C-alpha cells in the first residue's frame, strides 16, 4: 500500500503507463483539539510557527493519502498520477484535507 508511486505529474517519469483505473481520492476532516488550541492561542500572541497545527495538518494529510492509496491498491494500481491536495474549512475549527489523483498501472 505504501510502495505506490505518487506523482503530481501526468506521467511517472521514466515509466510507461499501461493501464488507467480512474479517479481515486482520500479525505479526512480534522478538528483542532483543545490542548493544541490553547497552546496555539498562546503562541498566537507572540507569533511564529504554530508547530502543533503544522503537525496536526501533516498527520491528517498523510491519513488522506493513505486512504487514497488503499483505494488505488484495491483497484490493482501501482501508481497514482496527477495527485492534488486541497484544504477547505467545513465548520468552525475543523478542516477537511482532500487528496485525489488518477490510479494507473505502470511498467
Partner 1 sequence: MDTTTTQGQLDLAFVLLFYALPLVGLVVFGGVGIITERRHYASIRQREQTGRRIPMVPVRTHDPDQVVVESRLVSASVVISLDYFKRFLASLRNIFGGRVRSYETLMDRARREVILRLQAQCPNADMVLNFRLETSSIANTRGKKGAGGVEVLAYGTMVRFAAPGTTPPPLH
Query: Interface with partner 1 by CB under 8 A: which residues?
Result: 5-10, 12-15, 32, 37, 40-41, 43-51, 53-54, 57-58, 61, 83, 85-89, 92-93, 95, 106-107
Q: How many CB atoms lie within 10 A of CB 96?
A: 16
Shortest Cβ 60–partner 1 spacing (Å):
10
How many angstroms separate the CA atoms of 29 and 50, rounded? 19
Q: Which is nearer to partner 1, 6 or 29 (CB)?
A: 6
Q: How many CB atoms lie within 10 A of CB 54?
A: 10
How many angstroms separate the CA atoms of 77 and 5, rounded? 9
Shortest Cβ 41–partner 1 spacing (Å):
4
Shortest Cβ 83–partner 1 spacing (Å):
6
Shortest Cβ 22–partner 1 spacing (Å):
19
* DSSP 8-class letter at 52: H
Q: Which is nearer to partner 1, 41 or 70 (CB)?
A: 41
* DSSP 8-class letter at 15: -
Amino acid at each position: 500500500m505504501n510502495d505506490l508511486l505518487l506523482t503530481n505529474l501526468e506521467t511517472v517519469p521514466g515509466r510507461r503507463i499501461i493501464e488507467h483505473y480512474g479517479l481515486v481520492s482520500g479525505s479526512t476532516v480534522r478538528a483542532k483539539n483543545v490542548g493544541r488550541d490553547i497552546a496555539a492561542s498562546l503562541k498566537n500572541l507572540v507569533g511564529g510557527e504554530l508547530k502543533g497545527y503544522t503537525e496536526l495538518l501533516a498527520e491528517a494529510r498523510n491519513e488522506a493519502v493513505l486512504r487514497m492509496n488503499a483505494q488505488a491498491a484495491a483497484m490493482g494500481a501501482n501508481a497514482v498520477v496527477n495527485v492534488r491536495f486541497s484544504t477547505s474549512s467545513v465548520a468552525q475549527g475543523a478542516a477537511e484535507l482532500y487528496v485525489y489523483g488518477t490510479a494507473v498501472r505502470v511498467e
